[in-house]
Amino acid sequence: MENKFVGKPKVESLSFFWSWLYLFCTRCHGRDDTPSWEPPGWRKACPQPFCPSYRKFARLLCLFLLGLLLWGIVYTILGEDAAPGGQLFGLAVLCIAAHFGGWLFSLTTLPALIGMLITGIVMQNIGMVSIDRNYNIVVSNLRKIALVIILTRAGLDLDPNALKRLKITVPKLGLIPWLIEAFVIAILTKYLLDLPWIWGFFLGSVIAAVSPAVVVPCLFRLRAKGYGVAKGIPTLIIAVSGIDDAASVAIHGIIQSIMFFPNAILWYQILQGPIAIVGGLGFGVLWGWLAKYVPEKGDPFMVPMRVLMLLGGGLLAVFGSEAIELGGAGPLAVVAAAFISCYFWQKQGWEVDDNPVATAFEIFWMIFEPILFGVTGAQIKIDELEGKTVYLGISCLLAGIVIRVVATILVGVGSNLNLKEKIFIALSWMAKATVQAALAPTALDKVDPNDPLQVYYAETVMTICVLSILLTAPAGAIMITLSGPKLLTKTTAPVAPPEGWKARRPSIRDISIINEDPDLEETANERKP
């Protein structure tokens, strides 16, 4: 009898361990019920879900071999820089480690980009990676390419029909809270951190952007359960985040041009903003219109050529606008070109939720996401941080978020949204990530390294932007996930996405416009006596 009772806890403990391991492995490998070829005895030697399927194993092995092949080619061309211990080799290791760190974080349902950012910070501060000044130009150009991909995806994922229906609500909820948060950050950093006004507005224009990379997966899960679909709240949130990103990047570019080209003629500095806006929109609309006719819609190589048209046009706009000292024009052109192209392609039969060009840019983002966040994290050196900068920076961020939440609720007065829905929308726009990672280091790239005061300002901007990602990205994801079921109305029949969507990563295009009301402002006005 004694042996029986002594052995029981051990059996239960072992059973608990295997149950936990089973669930963990199932979550890691996911479900793949599609039939595939396997060598004889594979399942016996590698039982699922404890081991990956042969298809996943073969895919990982193929990627490893391709990576090894690419490294071998680069090493034979560049030599020591690509060898272990070299700068290029260290950069590659950082990006691979960031991807793995992001994957680990994604298992917790938190945004993968947090893991990528933390991986970069850890590797920098334990001495595993150090980016030399000679490679700053490489890193800077990689960030610009990532920015083109971010903004192109934002433009392609804006539904023209949804924007038409929400033509009053989206600009109002998108621009007014953005302006308020940017001004609050500028004022607080001026008086708390002693940043000059121009640096405060530079920081405010970056911080005020909302990150679709954090918001979309959470909204996807809520939408699948039917929360907020009847009033089109997921679409409203995504549309506003796209406008936020475009405004942040454009204003940031204009301010940066004024900051780092102070010897320009006064009248040109005054007109630089309008010229950048008109020039950027003009180029974007023209390029998007051209994509309607080139390539021809029946061409068998239409999809890859359309991808290259948008990618090439976006890169030319961003790099070209910097070359002519109109930094704000390029990002605006990228968003405009993607949106206009999407508009015309929709008329030709491509739906917003079934656009192969958008899928291609989603794949590009899977490659550049760990590069962007890993490199951004690697620029933070903890031993050089000032405690005052950190806690005052956090105070500025929290004040900006709280004031923006209140402003969003007040701006929503008069719409068809109830108080709970306004609170949810305001909370969902607190998440920062992609734009902050892409734009924060640009000041460090531009300042004179021999001017310690300018370097201090640039490092302060960088620190606060990284803090904004670390604080708001996980907090935003958790707030959306927990508050959605409590604050949003659930439809009686949840709207499930088509089967084709379940096989790939959730994206902005997974949030469709189904059974939605017309513009919220117009609906409310029509109901008034």
Q: What is the DSSP string of 500-525?
A: GGGGS---GGGS---S--S-HHHHHH
Residues 74 and 206 in one domain: no
Q: Output the CA–CA distances (angstroms, integers) from residue 360 to 26, 103, 364, 501, in the order listed.
A: 28, 21, 6, 15
Considering the domain architecture, whether residues 228 and 308 belong to the same structural domain is answered as yes
- Both tokens of 58, joined, read 């073969």
Please give the Cα distance from 431 to 40 (Å, whole number).
Answer: 48
Residue 113 to residues 221, 372, 432, Cα–Cα distance (Å): 18, 9, 11
Cα 326–Cα 213–Cα 436 angle in degrees, nearest 5: 40
pLDDT of residue 82: 84
Q: Is 292 within a domain?
A: yes
Q: Judge if 214 and 341 occupy the same domain.
A: yes
Q: What is the mean pLDDT of each run of 10 residues along the chain (529 residues)?
A: 48 56 63 71 74 81 90 88 84 91 84 89 86 79 90 82 77 89 95 93 93 81 80 80 82 83 64 82 93 88 93 93 82 90 88 84 90 88 85 94 93 84 90 88 85 91 92 89 88 49 40 41 50
Pair (63, 182) in one structural domain: no
Phi, psi values for residue 227, rounded to 5°: -80, 125
Residues 179 and 59 in one domain: no
Residue 440 within a domain: yes
Domain count of the fold of the chain: 2
Residue given tokens 């606060």 in the structure block: 464
In terms of domains, do 63 and 183 share one? no
CA quadruple 318, 324, 328, 330: dihedral positive or negative? Answer: negative
Strand partners, 227: 490
Cα distance between residue 76 and residue 134, in whole Å: 20
- Same-domain check for residues 445 and 353: yes
Residues 70 and 164 in one domain: no
Distance of CA 261 to the CA centre of its chain: 29
Q: How many CB atoms lie within 10 A of CB 231?
A: 21
Cα within 13 Å of Cα(405), Cβ side: 17
The reply to whether omega before 274 is within 30° of 0 (cis) is no
What integer pLDDT is reported at residue 450 of this predicted model?
86
Q: Would residue 269 count as lying in a domain?
A: yes
Q: How confident is the model at residue 32, as a pLDDT?
A: 60
Contacts of 374 (CB under 8 A, 6+ apart): 94, 95, 97, 98, 99, 116, 117, 119, 120, 123
CB–CB of 357/156 below 8 Å?
yes
User: Residue 50 corresponds to which tokens in the numbers above?
Assistant: 């404890």
Asked if 159 and 73 sit in the same domain, the reply is no
| Residue 460, token pair as written in the block | 């302060």
The answer as to whether 160 is a domain residue is yes
Q: In this predicted structure, what is the pLDDT of residue 481?
A: 86
Examine the domain organization and report whether 65 and 191 are in the same domain: no
CA distance linking residue 225 with residue 492, whole number of Å = 10
Cβ atoms of 253 and 329 within 8 Å: the answer is yes
* Domain at 414, CATH number: 1.20.1530.20
Residue with tokens 């939720």: 353
Do both 234 and 153 map to the same domain?
A: yes
List all residues 6 or more positions away from 144 whose beta carbon is below 8 Å from its beta carbon. Answer: 315, 318, 319, 322
> Do 437 and 463 meet the contact criterion of CB atoms below 8 Å apart?
no
Reduced to 3 states, what is the DSSP secondary structure of residue 296?
A: coil
Full domain range(s) for residue 348? 136-490
Q: Which two tokens stand for residue 436?
A: 């902050």
Say what the pTM is.
Answer: 0.79
Rg, C-alpha atoms of the chain: 24
Question: Is 524 part of a structural domain of the chain?
Answer: no
Judge whether 520 lies within some domain: no
The residue count for the chain: 529
Residue 311 lies in a domain: yes
Whether 390 and 250 share a structural domain: yes
The answer to the question of residue 108 being in a domain is: no
Helix and strand element counts for the chain (H, E)? 21, 0
pLDDT at 150: 87
